[in-house]
Chain A
Amino acid sequence: MIELHAISKTYTRPSGDTVHALSDLSLRIDRGEFVAIVGASGSGKSTLMNLLGLLDRPTEGRYLFDGRDVASLDVANQARFRNRYVGFIFQVFHLLPRTSALENVELPLLYSDRASTTGLGRRALEAVGLADRLYHTPSELSGGQQQRVAIARALVNEPDLLLADEPTGNLDAQSASEVMDIFDALNRSGRTVVLVTHDLAVAARARRVVRLKGGRVVADARPTEPKDALEEVQ
């Protein structure tokens, strides 16, 4: 589904010096995979996620999604692509304040060209176990619940790809485990999940672990048992 060919991303700091966040990175992710991206802080994990989700463009290299070169789409079509194929989950939730869980979840539907969107928001919230919190605003929800709202928002448009950048980074162990249960279930029902984490317990639940270092892939393990994958990349 995803093919990255020799991707580089170079940032130029205001001071003038350049940072190679990703260099010559190639990666292939197939439909239905559950991939954890690990690596030290600054190794380029977020940059990779942003490129995968077309929030940013690579400086060099090609990004094929289902065989289509999507990195070179124009701004409007990239937005359409994000809306239709990608669901984002962020470490800091990014929910609209003073706005009900349901309305937050329905946000992507505002920009969708679907014929009918009735009931989708409600169903997405039910899928993350928040059927009884439809009209709560973010400030009335716990961190774990907020992240589940954010997951519902990522799900609402039924995307092929879920991208989660440190989704459990702001959660306690209990909530983190609940969130991971949801990702597990989503992946089992056929969705491709890519998540960034530096929590090994979280990474241990993925089927494949990719380790980045200095903007390159330094280890990539996809054995049958998730736990072994983690050991292998270590």
Chain B
Amino acid sequence: MRFDEAGRRLGSSLRPLLVHKVRTILALSGVAVGVAAVVVSSAIGRGAQQEMVRTIERMGTNLLIVKPLPVKRLVARQAVSGLATTLRIEDYEAIAGLALVAAAAPGVEGNARVKVGTIAMMTTVRGTTPVFPSVRRFQIAAGRFFDMEDVRRSRRVAVLGARVTDALFEGQQPVGQEIRIRGVPFDIIGVLQAKGTTTDGADEDNQILVPIRTALRRIFNTTWLTTVYVSVREPARMNDAETDIQDLLRARHQRGLDSRTDDFAVQNTAKIRSVQQEMTESLSLFAAGLAAIALLVGGIGILALMLLSVRERTSEIGLRMAVGAQPRDILAQFLVEASALALAGWTSGIVLGGAAALAVALGTTWTVGVPVTAVLASFGMAVIIGLGFGALPARSAAQIPPIQALLRT
């Protein structure tokens, strides 16, 4: 077939679509919605995936967090916040000594009112040790982190989180200045780089870090810890390390081997992440299911339009056969028409879905990108739908005997 003739055949196949604009748009909108659903769900799925990668980068793949549990029946000692008071510095030291543990950082934290000059704010104050930045993956933006010497001497030095710095200093250099924590003056020796909000909503930039002993004695006046951050040597042995810590603490606290009597809990970030992963996956599976249904509906729309189109144009089919069209020419004509419908639906779906993904990207902090695979896969689906649902009407059109087609009106 020559090129100009192919063009003319295409034109003569597509003309009916342009004549019946409204019903063409109706028929292709199903495919458009389906394709848009594919694009949006995969864009959001990818956003969630990237968000998880960011979380992993922030938390590390090897972090365990030990916390005291709220204990109501604990009457032996007055519990400040209803938490068990049994997690001690010695526990932290024992945990740090475990074979599977690469590093551990103790933490005692609470909310405190802090003040620089005349500006005051509420923030989280956390006492810890110099390994904290490496265990929790913080970078120093300016100045330095405190060292063991600062800890041993219970020095009143503080390292500020990025948000605290922004709130209190508004672009000025905080290092070397003084900050009052619950009225006690501290020297600011360093500033942390920003990390952003975590997926659970906690703002890790809204904190002030001070040496652990300083925090225990001068700020909170307690002897027990609220957290132990544990960095495990091999990410593959997270669960073993978790068990080791549980065994160690149960032995040290002498509360038996039953987890129901534990006065502490170990958060395994690997487990949390795998739950998140499963949620993301089932979410994208759900979205894929929705998209499949929408595409099916779109296909039925095309089927309906094509059946109508064949029925309306039976005498045209007869005429084309009378002037020499072979069954395969008629088949091709209607397949082209159905595919054009599906492709027009696909194009509008890509535009629609792209716009929706853009809206999500602008409305959230997520980096949303439309994956090329989604574009290609939905293209494939549109073509298959066009050919699949167009085939039946096209075949029936091609098989009408010419004289019967001509006489039908």
B interface footprint on A188-201 (CB within 8 Å = 1, 0 otherwise)? 00000000000000
Cβ B403 vs Cβ A107 within 8 A: no
A56 to B322, CA, bound (A): 10
Q: Which single residue of chain A is at the shortest CB-CB distance from B398?
A: A75
Q: Which single residue of chain B is at the shortest CB-CB distance from A96?
A: B316
Is residue B328 contacting chain A, with contact meaning CB distance below 8 A? yes
- CB within 8 Å of A: which residues of B? 5, 8-9, 12, 15, 19, 315-316, 318-329, 401-403, 406
Q: Which single residue of chain A is at the shortest CB-CB distance from B333?
A: A110
Q: Which single residue of chain A is at the shortest CB-CB distance from B402?
A: A55
Q: Which single residue of chain B is at the shortest CB-CB distance from A153?
A: B323
- Of A35-43, A81-89, A225-233, the one with at least 4 CB within 8 A of chain B: A81-89
A72 to B314, CA, bound (A): 25
* 9 closest cross-chain pairs (CB), A and B: A83-B324, A111-B324, A108-B323, A79-B326, A55-B403, A56-B403, A94-B319, A76-B326, A55-B402
List, in ascending order, chain B residues with CB within 8 A of A82's CB. 321-324
List, in ascending order, chain A residues with CB within 8 A of B403's CB. 50, 55-56
Is residue A10 contacting chain B, with contact meaning CB distance below 8 A? no
A76 to B325, CA, bound (A): 8
A222 to B401, CA, bound (A): 35
Cβ B322 vs Cβ A88 within 8 A: yes
A55 to B323, CA, bound (A): 10
List, in ascending order, chain B residues with CB within 8 A of A53's CB. 322
Q: Can you list 6 A-B pairs, Cβ within 8 angstroms, ordered by A?
A: A55-B403, A56-B402, A76-B326, A94-B406, A98-B19, A157-B323
Cβ A110 vs Cβ B12 within 8 A: yes
Q: Which single residue of chain B is at the shortest CB-CB distance from A90?
A: B406
**In the complex, how many angstroms separate the beta carbon of A222 from the nearest chain B beta carbon?**
28
B interface footprint on A164-183 (CB within 8 Å = 1, 0 otherwise)? 00000000000000000000
Is residue A109 contacting chain B, with contact meaning CB distance below 8 A? yes
Q: Which single residue of chain A is at the shortest CB-CB distance from B18?
A: A98
Is residue A106 contacting chain B, with contact meaning CB distance below 8 A? yes
Q: Which single residue of chain B is at the shortest CB-CB distance from A154?
A: B323
Number of contacting residues on A, CB 8 A? 28
List, in ascending order, chain A residues with CB within 8 A of B327's CB. 75-76, 79
Is residue A33 contacting chain B, with contact meaning CB distance below 8 A? no
**In the complex, how many angstroms separate the beta carbon of B83 from the nearest chain A beta carbon?**
81
A153 to B323, CA, bound (A): 9
Is residue A99 contacting chain B, with contact meaning CB distance below 8 A? yes
Is residue A20 contacting chain B, with contact meaning CB distance below 8 A? no
Cβ A107 vs Cβ B320 within 8 A: yes
A153 to B401, CA, bound (A): 21
**In the complex, how many angstroms separate the beta carbon of A87 from the nearest chain B beta carbon?**
8
Cβ B322 vs Cβ A99 within 8 A: no
List, in ascending order, chain B residues with CB within 8 A of A96's CB. 316, 319
Cβ A76 vs Cβ B328 within 8 A: yes
A157 to B325, CA, bound (A): 13
Which one of B15, B315, B319, B324 has the greatest number of beta carbons of chain A within 10 Å? B324
Cβ B316 vs Cβ A110 within 8 A: no
List, in ascending order, chain B residues with CB within 8 A of A59's CB. none
Cβ A99 vs Cβ B15 within 8 A: yes
- CB within 8 Å of B: which residues of A? 50, 53, 55-56, 75-76, 79-80, 82-84, 88, 90, 94, 96, 98-99, 103, 106-112, 117, 153, 157
List, in ascending order, chain A residues with CB within 8 A of B406's CB. 55, 90, 94
List, in ascending order, chain A residues with CB within 8 A of B15's CB. 98-99
Cβ A111 vs Cβ B12 within 8 A: no
**In the complex, how many angstroms separate the beta carbon of A120 from the nearest chain B beta carbon?**
12
Cβ 8 A contact of B12, one of A50, A94, A103: A103
A50 to B402, CA, bound (A): 10
Q: Which single residue of chain A is at the shortest CB-CB distance from B399?
A: A75
Cβ B325 vs Cβ A111 within 8 A: yes
List, in ascending order, chain A residues with CB within 8 A of B315's CB. 94
List, in ascending order, chain B residues with CB within 8 A of A117's CB. 5
**In the complex, how many angstroms separate the beta carbon of B284 from the nearest chain A beta carbon?**
46
A157 to B322, CA, bound (A): 13
**In the complex, how many angstroms separate the beta carbon of A117 from the nearest chain B beta carbon?**
7
Cβ B402 vs Cβ A83 within 8 A: no
Q: Which single residue of chain A is at the shortest CB-CB distance from B321?
A: A79
Cβ B322 vs Cβ A106 within 8 A: no
A103 to B406, CA, bound (A): 19
Cβ 8 A contact of B324, one of A90, A103, A112: A112
Cβ B322 vs Cβ A111 within 8 A: no
List, in ascending order, chain A residues with CB within 8 A of B319's CB. 94, 96, 107
Cβ A111 vs Cβ B323 within 8 A: yes
**In the complex, how many angstroms separate the beta carbon of B141 from the nearest chain A beta carbon?**
71
**In the complex, how many angstroms separate the beta carbon of B18 from the nearest chain A beta carbon?**
9
Cβ 8 A contact of A80, one of B5, B19, B318, B326: B326
**In the complex, how many angstroms separate the beta carbon of A122 from the nearest chain B beta carbon?**
14
**In the complex, how many angstroms separate the beta carbon of A31 from the nearest chain B beta carbon?**
21
A65 to B318, CA, bound (A): 23
Q: Which single residue of chain B is at the shortest CB-CB distance from A107?
A: B323
List, in ascending order, chain B residues with CB within 8 A of A108's CB. 323-324
List, in ascending order, chain B residues with CB within 8 A of A80's CB. 324, 326
A106 to B4, CA, bound (A): 13
Cβ A88 vs Cβ B323 within 8 A: yes
Which one of B316, B318, B323 has the greatest number of beta carbons of chain A within 10 Å? B323
List, in ascending order, chain A residues with CB within 8 A of B326's CB. 75-76, 79-80, 111
Q: Which single residue of chain A is at the shortest CB-CB distance from B324?
A: A83
A109 to B325, CA, bound (A): 10
